[in-house]
Amino acid sequence: MFGLEKRDYTLLIIVACLTMFAPFILNPFPTDSAMAQFNAGYPDLMQRFVIFGIFAIGFNLLFGLTGYLSFGHAAFLGVGSYSAVWMYKLLGYNILPGLFLSVIVSAVFALLIGYISLRRSGIYFSILTLAFAQMMFSIAYSDLIGRFLGTTITNGETGLQVYNSDPQVLHSASKPDIPHLFGQQMQSTYSLDIAGWSFDFNTGYYLCALIMIAAFYIAIRIFRSPFGLMLRAIKTNQTRLNYTGLNTRPYALAVFVISGMYAGLAGGLMACMDPLAGAERMQWTASGEVVLMTILGGAGTLIGPVLGAGFIKYFENIFSKINDSILHQWFAFFPDGIEDAVVFMIHPFIGKGWHLTLGILFMLVVIFLPGGLVEGGQRIGKLLKRGKKSEDKGDGDAASTPAE
């Protein structure tokens, strides 16, 4: 179905189910229980899950599949946000033109930057993309183009937003004053209360989720296409490809543009959920974040980036919420002295210290588990399988026959 193999089809179904039932899955605890702080099923966070999922899927096409480590991908995210907000300002709050323009504009930027950066590979490519991204960040942060032309393009530090004085030619009094899709407001949420549980169904989230499933589907098709095979060949041995008389640049450029479009789409969606665009989205630490997501989940795998994005955003949210008094509650069963000691030990890693935890986690993954969470899952799966097999056969040489 959809031209997919059975395995990929299963994967797509899994992702689709996960995203569609996310409001249930992410809210496993009743609202007034002590565990409710682990619930992540509120609209804002769920939107971020899928938006960053799209961003990471696109980045993975470039880094995981083709092997080019870009350190400036957040620039395209920012470009997407700015374009979408400009569409609100000029046309009105319908998100469709905004999304359309954000993909187109980020593709144009990706084409330009990619054309120049892809002349070099390896570390030079990383630094070139980094330089471009920092340049675009500076331009957006101080609105240099706007100042040059004597108008406002990015509105500098304040960030771009919609004002009453903006033209909004397609806007009329009957339409909502917030981002909407043909009247369906992105912020509208339907809450379902069942016996202590509360589940939020948010229009914006479901729009993003549908787009992410589509994006995921396209990524699968790219992975399995002859084009994807060529990209894999570029990652494996570019020199050898060149010696066969093949020019790899167009392929690399194509995937760079595609992944820039994914980033632009994610940026556009961000502006759809919240009609603002700021330069901080383009900073190179933001590019670093998508690198973290992809690596943490598993670069080069299909589902890895989605998992990584969800993982980082979930724990960012949970860890930053935990504070000392919650820790004291948890460890109350220890004697007082030990309780204080344990809380003292954990204290640097929670709340504002979340980045420390993330950094350590990231280092551990790079050092011990280069394949990310996906590889971790596979290893555990293999161990389990091996355990079962040796039980069945009653001998221990199952290692010689791998399951696949």
Structure tokens at 59: 């980045």
Question: Could you tell me whether strands 276-277 and 160-161 are parallel, antiparallel, or unpaired per DSSP bridges?
Answer: antiparallel
Length of the chain measured in residues: 404
Angle, helices 43-60/304-321, rounded to nearest 10 degrees? 140
In angstroms, what is the minimal distance from the CB of 237 to another protein?
Answer: 10
Nearer to another protein, 352 or 393 (CB): 352
366 touching another protein, by CB under 8 A: yes
Q: How far apart are the first and last CA of the chain?
A: 24
φ and ψ at residue 41, rounded to 5 degrees = -90, 35
In angstroms, what is the minimal distance from the CB of 345 to another protein?
Answer: 13
CB atoms within 10 A of CB 351: 15
In angstroms, what is the minimal distance from the CB of 193 to another protein?
Answer: 40
The residue written with tokens 């909004």 in the block is 168
Residue 128: closest CA among 68, 77, 63 = 68
In angstroms, what is the minimal distance from the CB of 87 to another protein?
Answer: 25
C-alpha 43/C-alpha 279 separation (Å) is: 24
Site for another protein in 136-195 (CB under 8 A): 138-139, 142, 144, 147-148
In angstroms, what is the minimal distance from the CB of 148 to another protein?
Answer: 6
Count of residues interacting with another protein (CB under 8 A): 41
Nearer to another protein, 138 or 158 (CB): 138
Among 290, 295, 327, 374, interactor with another protein by CB under 8 A: 295
Among 54, 65, 84, 130, interactor with another protein by CB under 8 A: 130
127 touching another protein, by CB under 8 A: yes
In angstroms, what is the minimal distance from the CB of 288 to another protein?
Answer: 6
Among 47, 126, 154, 259, interactor with another protein by CB under 8 A: 126
Site map (CB under 8 A) of another protein, residues 86-125, x = contact = ------------------------------x--xxxxxx-
Among 189, 362, 377, 386, interactor with another protein by CB under 8 A: 362
Amino acid at 177: D
CB atoms within 10 A of CB 197: 17
Contact call for residues 60 and 119 (beta carbons, < 8 A): no
Structure tokens at 105: 């504009």
315 touching another protein, by CB under 8 A: no
In angstroms, what is the minimal distance from the CB of 121 to another protein?
Answer: 8
254 touching another protein, by CB under 8 A: no
Among 12, 50, 61, 128, interactor with another protein by CB under 8 A: 128
Distances (CA, A) of 351 to 36, 320, 348: 17, 4, 8
The residue written with tokens 């588990």 in the block is 369
Among 151, 172, 174, 239, interactor with another protein by CB under 8 A: 239
26 touching another protein, by CB under 8 A: no
In angstroms, what is the minimal distance from the CB of 371 to another protein?
Answer: 12
Nearer to another protein, 21 or 148 (CB): 148
Site for another protein in 337-356 (CB under 8 A): 348, 353, 355-356
**Alpha helices, DSSP H, located in 274-353:** 284-297, 304-321, 324-330, 336-346
Among 16, 90, 111, 135, interactor with another protein by CB under 8 A: 135
3-state secondary structure (DSSP) of residue 30: coil
DSSP 105-163: HHHHHHHHHHHHHTTS-HHHHHHHHHHHHHHHHHHHHHTHHHHHHTS-SS-GGG-EE--
Residues forming contacts to another protein in the complex (CB under 8 A) are 67, 69, 116, 119-124, 126-128, 130-132, 134-135, 138-139, 142, 144, 147-148, 239, 284-285, 288, 291, 295, 348, 353, 355-356, 358-360, 362-363, 366-367, 370
